[in-house]
Amino acid sequence: MNQHYLNRYYKFINSLKNQTVDGYFEKHHIVPRSHGGSNDKENLIKLTARQHYVAHWMLWKAYGKEMTTAFHYMTHVGRYGKRINSRTFELLKLEEDARNRSRKHTPEAIEKNRQAHLGKKITEEHKKAISKALKGKPKSRLPDVSIEKMKATKKQRFVPKIWVNNGDIQTKITYNKIEEYLNNGWERGFLRKYIVKRYKNLEKIYNESV
């Protein structure tokens, strides 16, 4: 655990406890549920999308891999690229909220739809007719060729892989090829420059967010 970032996290949260969020907000567990945090009102705080992003960034820095999944979901949104910063994350959330609000049916439309289906029931005659029509018919089934193709694709998709590099290039390979690559001068793991670059990018994201 990184106590420095944990202290910064609680200082950040305490500074926002009395704020009023106008418009879109997200509820955040002050003490993460994975660390025994509850759903009680005292453990919840309303944050803007950007503040929520920064809070999870700090938790990830404080606890490392324990908080990776939550932060991973926030940083991997395909619409804006592989990785996004807190400003883009907030923009995405606001657009999504506006889109969902625009999709809501008006009270008139809801009532019209309710009246249209009010009292509709399938009669016993109708049920018997459906049963008679389906009697003796085999259940629909994909051709054996299609089933085997799907099984093969699924197996191929979930083959475990490992990262290797040769000092200039990094790639993922299946475990049965490790010896071949190691004998040709490759090493396990990421490139050093990739790790440094990734860390600097995350530092930049935080510096732009606070």
For 159-193, how does the pLDDT look when each residue is reduced to its tens digit (9 = 90+)?
778 888 888 888 888 888 888 999 998 888 877 66
Give the span between the Cα atoms of 51 and 160, in whole angstroms: 36
pLDDT for the residue 11: 93
Give the span between the Cα atoms of 74 and 100, in whole angstroms: 19
Give the span between the Cα atoms of 23 and 101, in whole angstroms: 12
Please report the DSSP string for 74-130 in residue order: HH--GGG-S---HHHHHHHHHHHHHHHHHHSPPHHHHHHHHHHHTT----HHHHHHH
Band (pLDDT 50/70/90 cuts) for residue 79 is: very low
Residue entry with tokens 């932060």: 71
Name the burial class of residue 4, with classes exposed (0-12), middle (13-18) and buried (19+) by CB atoms within 10 angstroms of its CB.
exposed
State percent of the chain over pLDDT 90: 10
DSSP state at residue 29: E
* Residue 185 backbone phi and psi in degrees, to 5: 95, 5
Q: Inform me whether the pLDDT recorded for 112 exceeds 90.
A: no
Report whether 173 contacts 162 (CB < 8 A). Answer: yes
Give the span between the Cα atoms of 38 and 60, in whole angstroms: 19
Q: Inform me whether the pLDDT recorded for 83 exceeds 60.
A: no
Write down the pTM of the prediction: 0.42
Element (H, E) at 148: helix 144-157
Q: Which of 42, 25, 45, 54 is nearest to 203 (CA)?
A: 54
pLDDT for the residue 41: 87
